Amino acid sequence: MAVCIAVIAKENYPLYIRSVPIQNELKFHYTVHTSLDVVEEKISAVGKAMADQRELYLGLLYPTEDYKVYGYVTNSKVKFVIVVDSSNTSLRDNEIRSMFRKLHNSFTDVMCNPFYNPGDTIQSKAFDSMVTAMMVQAS
């Protein structure tokens, strides 16, 4: 269960960012912002290594004392960042991957929506409800 989910555009501004404990929202914004550097590093590093299969899933970007940050980049250079609570150690890699998969599918649907202009913030209710389902329930 994620604590914060963010979708960042190719030009590195947020298209969609949502976190669960509303009072600490600014801290999550900051965490996501710093994780962008790590994402850039991973993208350019893979390019130089000339790997055969470049995966879209980037894996654990960096752990902080309370949270772990995971990243995923699409072929159109849109980045998804998920922040999860470190205390929730039962979350396995597969589950994170499936969360990213769902995010990517919903994002593709948003992209294909004729009422959505690429570059705007995401306002789709369907996307919202999908993200809510993935986040921790606020107590």
Partner 1 sequence: MADDVLFEFLHMEMVSHIYKDQASRGEMEKDRATCVSTLEGMGFRVGQGLIERFTKDSPSFKDDLDVMKFICKDFWINVFRKQIDNLRTNHQGTYVLQDNKFALLTQFSNGKQYLEEAPKYLAYSCGLVRGALSNLGMDCVVTAEVSLMPSCESLLSSSSSSFIIYHHTTPNITDTTEMF
What does the binding site for partner 1 look like in residue numbers (CB under 8 A)? 10, 46-47, 50, 53-56, 73-77, 104-105, 107-108, 111-112, 114, 118
Q: Which C-beta is closer to partner 1: that of 21 or that of 59? A: 59
- Strand ranges, E, within 1-139: 2-8, 14-19, 57-63, 67-73, 79-85
Q: Work out how close the CB of 12 gets to partner 1 at its nearest, in angstroms, rounded to a whole number.
A: 13
Q: Work out how close the CB of 93 gets to partner 1 at its nearest, in angstroms, rounded to a whole number.
A: 18
Q: Work out how close the CB of 2 gets to partner 1 at its nearest, in angstroms, rounded to a whole number.
A: 21
Q: Which C-beta is closer to partner 1: that of 56 or that of 134? A: 56
Q: Which C-beta is closer to partner 1: that of 1 or that of 56? A: 56
Instruction: Return d(Cα 68, Cα 45) in angstroms, integer.
Output: 21
CB burial readout 84-96, b (16+ within 10 A) else e? bbeeeeebeeeeb
Q: Which C-beta is closer to partner 1: that of 27 or that of 102? A: 102
Instruction: Return d(Cα 33, Cα 8) in angstroms, integer.
Output: 9
Q: Work out how close the CB of 62 gets to partner 1 at its nearest, in angstroms, rounded to a whole number.
A: 21
Strand ranges across the sheet with 67-73: 14-19, 2-8, 79-85, 67-73, 57-63
